[in-house]
Amino acid sequence: MFIATLIAAKGRLADADLSVAQEKMAAAGCTMSATRWIDEGIAADLDFTGDPLVAREVLEGRFDATDVVVQPAAHREKRLLVADMDSTMITVECIDELADYAGIKEQVAEVTERAMRGELDFAAALDARVALLEGLDESVIEQCLAERVTLMAGARALVRTMKARGGHALLVSGGFTRFAEPVAAEIGFDRAIANYLEIAHGKLTGTVRKPIVGSDTKEKTLLAALDELRIDAADSMAVGDGANDLAMIRRAGLGVAYRAKPIVAGAAAARIDHGDLTALLYAQGIPSAEWVVG
């Protein structure tokens, strides 16, 4: 049994839309068994048997500003969340914003974009970008955190709701501890793992401590957490937007590409292009009345 969840970012789903979805899925060979609202007008489930890839194909793009998550009915509610930070749990890429204070944002952001698209080796690209920040005053980190770093909509609700229901949440970032640790604390993550910017005499040295937190670290963190918690991969969710998130996304029970680069969106089991992070609560069948907010 599978569940297809429709999540309307603008809250415009109607009963007629669910009927259309059922018709399209049935025409594609799926056998429909039940339809129900999670939150009326916003999110709904369609239970079916058949090919989940076919169901996803016929539903994605069918309704205005609506995300589609198709997954097995079993293990739907997750017990572990492993999440990327930059452009996933927060709205910016921190290294690009630090570079702005140094007057080189355009130069650094171009490399960041290419690395996130999988066009460059992540570790080498990070070293090259950090080297350009050599001599930047350490105080700029706190200034950047205060002035530029904004939580992604729905981040707190996602993490705090999952934790309130007995889940665990880990933030694993290819960014920096000086951002990841306060962001993780503000959102409610159990732990943050990120790269350590080296500083001497109050200035950035232009280096980052090795080994670099990259794709391999993210995947190993997920697997270690599964082992530590003694849960199946099916009970986990991983979410990110860049190429360095692909390994953990592929290993999780539900791997989610969140407003992601094409290489990630094409490979993930689910993608969220329209809604905020609360879409991942709807994907777990949790109505807004049960969210932990604030």
86 has catalytic annotation: yes
What is the predicted pLDDT for the residue at 151?
98
Cα–Cα distance between 284 and 165 in angstroms, integer?
A: 12
| Neighbouring C-beta atoms of residue 119, cutoff 10 Å | 13
Cα–Cα distance between 151 and 154 in angstroms, integer?
A: 8
Instruction: Name the catalytic one among 45, 84, 241, 245.
Output: 84
What is the predicted pLDDT for the residue at 267?
93
84 has catalytic annotation: yes
**Per residue of the chain (294 residues), what is the pLDDT tens digit?**
999 999 999 999 999 999 999 999 999 999 999 999 999 999 999 999 999 999 999 999 999 999 999 999 999 999 999 999 999 999 999 999 999 999 999 999 999 999 999 999 999 999 999 999 999 999 999 999 999 999 999 999 999 999 999 999 999 999 999 999 999 999 999 999 999 999 999 999 999 999 999 999 999 999 999 999 999 999 999 999 999 999 999 999 999 999 999 999 999 999 999 999 999 999 999 999 999 987
Q: Which residues neighbour 160 within 8 Å (Cβ) at sequence distance 6 or greater?
A: 187, 188, 292, 293
Tokens linked to 230:
């003694």
**Which strands form 236-240's sheet, in the order they lie side by side?**
191-195, 168-176, 80-83, 236-240, 254-258, 270-272
CATH number of 1-74: 3.30.70.260
Tokens linked to 201:
């005499």
Cα–Cα distance between 266 and 241 in angstroms, integer?
A: 11
Q: Which residues neighbour 220 within 8 Å (Cβ) at sequence distance 6 or greater?
A: none
Tokens linked to 106:
């355009």
Tokens linked to 263:
């290489």
Cα–Cα distance between 215 and 220 in angstroms, integer?
A: 9
Cα–Cα distance between 92 and 89 in angstroms, integer?
A: 9
8-state DSSP, 60? T
Tokens linked to 190:
């159990």
Instruction: Name the catalytic one among 17, 45, 86, 235.
Output: 86
pTM score: 0.96
